[in-house]
Amino acid sequence: MKFGMFVDQDSTRFCYLRLRRLKTVLKNANILAALAAELELPAVDGRAQLAAIERRIEELRGTKDSPWYEVPAPEILAASIFAARKRARGAVDELFSAVGRVQELAAPLGSWLNIAGLKSYQGGVPGIGRANLVGYAASRLMSGPHIVGIEATNETSQLASALDSTKTTHASTHASYLACTPALAAEALWAQASAPGFSRWDAGHLASRLKASGYGLLLVEGDAVSQAVAPRERKLDKAVVAELARAILSPTPNAK
């Protein structure tokens, strides 16, 4: 399968899975067997199995009435692997960095804020909105205070609710993010694909909704956090910033 010769394997993602990790699947017999079953292919091994998967993907993307029509082959591969996760006995969940509890996202997100020059504080601050993690810096290079709100989630229903509320909950932060695992982001794409009126796979659906409201997207993979969608930076009234800063500083910071 062709993935492109001159692409960054860590920043390039298909169904929110990093290309570097997607390539490892080609040598994973367990996941390939689950994928073949998902694609309703006969049971074969080795190169014959991979060749059959590639032919099936090309068939799907070449059929005009298919939801995969003209969708890039690596996107179909990654999305189909995720769809086969129940057949793969946890291997796909591990591949997409799934977690059991949203609390597992707190430490890596706090570290990401610290690296960005912000201290990490618990959310629930009046005026911040739905953010359950807040980054604050009293001053930055050539600028004043900076406030970042992050809403971390690990459930599809909560992600859908967060997307619905993005237009009204970010006015009091300089930047706002949704944060989740690649597994949840992939699940969101499949949820959209199951919606009434769906006709074609839309790999950019989640990113488009976030960009329209100015939100960014952070993907958490174990201890690593990467920015998949950049937020729209906003200017805030100085009086509002001062009031929020007082509210933020009253709790104990999560990270030093």
Return the bridge partners of 225, or none: 220
Asked whether residue 206 is domain-assigned, the answer is yes
**3-class state of residue 194 by DSSP:** coil
CA gap 227, 216 in Å, rounded: 7
DSSP-assigned letter for residue 154: -
CA gap 171, 87 in Å, rounded: 43
Residue 240 and residue 125 in contact, taking contact as beta carbons nearer than 8 Å = no
Hunting for tokens 């794409």 — which residue is that? Answer: 189
pLDDT digit string, tens, across residues 182-239: 999 999 999 999 888 888 999 999 999 999 889 999 999 999 999 999 999 988 888 8
Residues 149 and 45 in one domain: no
- In the predicted model, what is the mean pLDDT of residues 240-247? 87
Q: How many domains does the chain have?
A: 2
Q: What's phi and psi for 94, nearest 5 deg?
A: -65, -40
State the pLDDT confidence band at 170, using cuts at 50, 70 and 90. Answer: low
Residue 228 and residue 207 in contact, taking contact as beta carbons nearer than 8 Å = yes
Residues 130 and 80 in one domain: no
Residues 133 and 177 in one domain: yes
Residues 122 and 89 in one domain: no
Residue ending a domain, choose from 71, 95, 119:
95
> Would the pLDDT of 99 be above 90?
yes
**How does strand 119-122 pair with strand 216-221?**
unpaired
Residue 74 and residue 1 in contact, taking contact as beta carbons nearer than 8 Å = yes
Q: What is the pLDDT of residue 256?
A: 47
Q: What is the pLDDT of residue 23?
A: 95
Share of the chain above pLDDT 70, in %: 94
- In the predicted model, what is the mean pLDDT of residues 140-158? 86
Residues 72 and 186 in one domain: no
Return the bridge partners of 137, or none: 146
Half-sphere exposure of 114 (CA within 13 A, CB side): 12
Asked whether residue 149 is domain-assigned, the answer is yes
DSSP-assigned letter for residue 217: E
- In the predicted model, what is the mean pLDDT of residues 89-108? 96
Residues 35 and 65 in one domain: yes
Share of the chain above pLDDT 90, in %: 66
Q: How buried is 201 (Cβ within 10 angstroms: 0-12 exposed, 13-18 middle, 19+ buried)?
A: buried
Task: At 74, list the tokens.
Answer: 């690596």
Hunting for tokens 């005026």 — which residue is that? Answer: 127
Residues 123 and 106 in one domain: yes
Can you give the residue range of the structural domain that contains 61?
Answer: 13-95
Residue ending a domain, choose from 63, 95, 127:
95
Residues 63 and 107 in one domain: no
Residues 218 and 137 in one domain: yes
Asked whether residue 148 is domain-assigned, the answer is yes
pLDDT digit string, tens, across residues 12-70: 999 999 999 999 999 999 999 999 999 999 888 888 999 999 999 999 999 999 999 99
Residues 81 and 130 in one domain: no
Residue 13 and residue 228 in contact, taking contact as beta carbons nearer than 8 Å = yes
Asked whether residue 6 is domain-assigned, the answer is no
Q: What is the pLDDT of residue 42?
A: 87
Residue ending a domain, choose from 70, 95, 120:
95
Residues 208 and 89 in one domain: no
